[in-house]
């Protein structure tokens, strides 16, 4: 009783000539356009899923370049103006004795975004060439990418908080550099990219081996 | 969502089909006991995880979330003191400090992600779940409202902001003496609320409760 009962070894909705609602899990005959229960649009597989994934992915990658080259934080003190990029800021933190925080920043701003680009590219590429291997682990990767993407926003928030807090007119001011906006856009674009990916495609390539109805 | 309502719905639905939204596997729905979980056997997505008294709990949490978010706008969450200078920041200050420094798009985006979207999402949940908790007919447009609330989930970033506060704090302790304001603790509580809410919100139960009157 604990589990929803499985009907066949694995019968997919599509193989049974049905379409499932991705919003509320209700099942309709194939070809139904809107879910009557929740009003969500139905699609057995999202149309052009991979193209949309790649388009957002590319947009995210393009925005990620200025995010790393341009300064993230501009600090003006009596001694002069200092500009720090994402990596530069983290290195500075590390040198001045907060390796823990430097690690968090590096993970959130470099580690996670780069890993995300690689993971999404791998998922889209493997689905594109109809790779049937390891659907379970690939689905896990997809889950993790979708869950973790938003945490990359942390550095943008830090910049915003710092620059509103440190406003001592002549003595010291911190303001956000152009990289902050570029980085925020990059995070948002990759989130869209991950959301465009239809995870059902990962499992599709297994289907020909199964009995169809 | 009173207890008996859910049981009824699940019994009604005894032979209905449901699909795993993540991998398209087809299942026959069964009664899922309170506190139990139904997971997809091949991709391990949680399909249903009803909890006892979840409806009331989620409504309370959502109410608390809305109140905390509004409070966080006006109360300072960090106070900075350096060489006789003193500055406190509330979210409103953040918004205003950017208005002259350009990059307005950034602050607009941030306020949307940290305040507007979490607040709207919590309000939608209250709107949808309140009639269900008291066993009344669902509110008008409850279905699209709940769908919208679920779609907003990845964009509600209040808890990411809370961690951002902590990081900003460490970054400037070198520069000045910093103390945490009231709003920081509000955000800390908010993180907890969001986490609990996510654990208790079972969209499968909500959808079933929403459809119940149409069938009977």
Task: Read off the pLDDT band of A83 (50, 70, 90).
Answer: confident
> Which tens digit of pLDDT belongs to each residue from A167-178?
766 677 888 888
Residue A155, pLDDT > 90, answer: no
B105, containing H or E segment: helix B104-111
At residue B134, does pLDDT exceed 90? Answer: no
Helix and strand totals (H; E) in chain A: 8, 7
Give the SS3 label for residue B169: helix
B170 contact residues in A (CB cutoff 8 A) = 98, 100-101
pLDDT in tens, B10-63: 333 445 788 888 888 888 777 777 778 888 888 888 888 888 778 888 888 888
Beta strands at A80-84 and A167-168: parallel, antiparallel or unpaired: unpaired
Bridge partners for B180 per DSSP: B78
Q: pLDDT-derived band of residue A5, with 50, 70 and 90 as boundaries?
A: very low
Gap between the Cα atoms of B60 and B196, Å rounded: 11
Q: Is B168 on the interface with A (CB under 8 A)?
A: yes
Mean pLDDT over B119-144 rounds to 88
C-alpha closest to that of B20 among B11, B29, B12: B29
Q: Where are the beta strands (DSSP E) in B37-189?
A: 38-39, 46-48, 78-82, 85-89, 177-180
Kindly identify which residue of chain B lies nearest to residue A178, measuring between CA atoms: B103
Q: Which of B121, B141, B119 is nearest to B131 (CA)?
A: B141
DSSP code per residue over A62-83: HHHHHHHHS-SEEEEETTEEEE
| B207/A6 CB distance under 8 A | no
| Residue A65 scores a pLDDT above 70 | yes
Q: How far apart are CA A24 and CA A6, in angstroms?
A: 18
- Distance of residue A49 Cα from the nearest chain B Cα, in angstroms: 14
What is the reported pLDDT for B211? Answer: 78
C-alpha angle with apex A41: A204 to A190, nearest 5 degrees? 65
pTM value?
Answer: 0.83
Suggest the residue from A157, A159, A205, A206 to mutate for an interface test with chain B (most B CBs closer than 10 A).
A157
pLDDT, tens digit, 9 for 90 and up, residues B54-86: 888 888 888 888 888 888 777 777 777 766 667
* Interface A:B, Cβ pairs < 8 A: 228
- At residue A213, does pLDDT exceed 70? no
Asked if B147 lies within 8 A of A167 by C-beta distance, the reply is: no
């Amino acid at each position: 009783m604990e589990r929803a009962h499985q009907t066949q070894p694995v019968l997919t909705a599509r193989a049974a000539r049905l379409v499932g609602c991705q919003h509320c899990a209700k099942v309709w005959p194939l070809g139904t356009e809107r879910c009557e229960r929740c009003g969500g649009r139905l699609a057995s597989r999202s149309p052009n899923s991979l193209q949309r994934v790649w388009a957002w992915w590319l947009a995210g990658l393009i925005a990620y370049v200025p995010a790393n080259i341009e300064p993230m934080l501009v600090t003006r003190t009596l001694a002069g103006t200092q500009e720090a990029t994402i990596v530069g800021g983290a290195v500075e933190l590390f040198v001045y004795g907060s390796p823990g925080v430097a690690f968090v920043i590096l993970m959130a701003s470099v580690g996670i975004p780069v890993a995300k680009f690689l993971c999404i590219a791998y998922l889209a590429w493997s689905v594109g060439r109809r790779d049937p291997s390891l659907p379970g682990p690939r689905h896990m990767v997809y889950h993790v990418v979708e869950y973790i993407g938003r945490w990359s926003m942390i550095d943008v928030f830090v910049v915003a908080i710092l620059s509103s807090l440190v406003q001592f007119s002549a003595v010291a001011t911190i303001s956000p550099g152009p990289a902050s906006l570029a980085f925020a856009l990059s995070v948002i674009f990759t989130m869209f990219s991950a959301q465009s990916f239809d995870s059902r495609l990962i499992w599709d390539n297994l289907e020909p081996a199964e009995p169809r109805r | 969502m009173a207890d008996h309502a859910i049981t009824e719905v699940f019994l009604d639905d005894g032979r209905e089909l449901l699909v795993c939204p993540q991998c398209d596997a087809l299942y026959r729905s069964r009664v899922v006991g309170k506190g139990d979980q139904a997971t997809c056997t091949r991709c391990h997505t949680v399909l249903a995880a009803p909890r006892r008294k979840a409806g009331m709990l989620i409504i309370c949490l959502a109410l608390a979330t809305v109140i905390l978010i509004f409070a966080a706008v006006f109360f300072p969450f960090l106070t900075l003191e350096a060489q006789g200078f003193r500055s406190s920041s509330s979210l409103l200050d953040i918004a205003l400090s950017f208005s002259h420094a350009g990059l307005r798009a950034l602050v607009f985006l941030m306020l949307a992600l940290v305040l507007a979207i979490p607040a709207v999402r919590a309000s939608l949940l209250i709107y949808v779940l309140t009639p269900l908790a008291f066993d009344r007919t669902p509110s008008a447009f409850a279905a699209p409202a709940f769908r919208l609330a679920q779609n907003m989930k990845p964009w509600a970033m209040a808890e990411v902001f809370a961690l951002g506060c902590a990081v900003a704090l460490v970054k400037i302790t070198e520069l000045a003496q910093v103390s945490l304001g009231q709003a920081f603790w509000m955000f800390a509580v908010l993180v907890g609320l969001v986490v609990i809410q996510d654990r208790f919100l079972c969209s499968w139960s909500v959808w079933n409760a929403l459809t119940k009157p149409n069938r009977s």
